[in-house]
Amino acid sequence: MRIGQLAEATGTTTKTLRFYEESGLLPPAERMASGYRDYTDDAVGMVGFIHRGQAAGLTLAQIGQILRIRGHGQAPCSHVRNLLGGRLRELDAQIAELLVLRETISQLHAQAAEPEPDTCTANEVCRYI
């Protein structure tokens, strides 16, 4: 399979696939006599995995780790479980932070409801922030 067909099959672009190879996410593809990359069907699964990993909020670097462990013939299960656990803790922290921020902004927004107040003092930038 040529790179354009793989891109089509996985819903991405040839640019991105070359970028994944260069970044060590995909193993270097075999080449045809012409120099064109020649992918096996495995590649479709790997690119699909990259997309699912991204949807799970993993970085390309983390996805690359899993892919390389798998590439060495090992099962990456415990590594994956650790990554997911870490991601879960990050998400909880991030959500908590955003909820606090939402409260803050909501209050600022409500305060800014009064139009163009005369109570602005010249030496402050904005009464509301």
Contact 127, 119 (CB under 8 A): yes
Helix (H) or strand (E) holding 112: none
β-pairing verdict for 30-31 and 37-38: antiparallel
Stretch that binds a second copy, among 6-14, 17-25, 29-37, 98-106 (CB under 8 A): 98-106
Contact 1, 43 (CB under 8 A): yes
Which three-class secondary structure state does DSSP give residue 114?
coil
Stretch that binds DNA, among 31-39, 68-76, 87-95, 109-117 (CB under 7 A): 31-39
Among 5, 13, 16, 94, binds a second copy (CB under 8 A): 94
How far apart are CB 92 and a second copy at their closest, in Å? 7
Give the type of residue at 24. Answer: G
Range 32-61, binding DNA (CB under 7 A): 32-37, 54, 59-61
Is residue 25 near a second copy by the rule CB under 8 A?
no
The mark string for 56-95 relative to DNA (x by CB under 7 A, - otherwise) is ---xxx----------------------------------
- Please measure the distance between the N-terminal and C-terminal CA atoms of the chain and give it in whole angstroms: 57
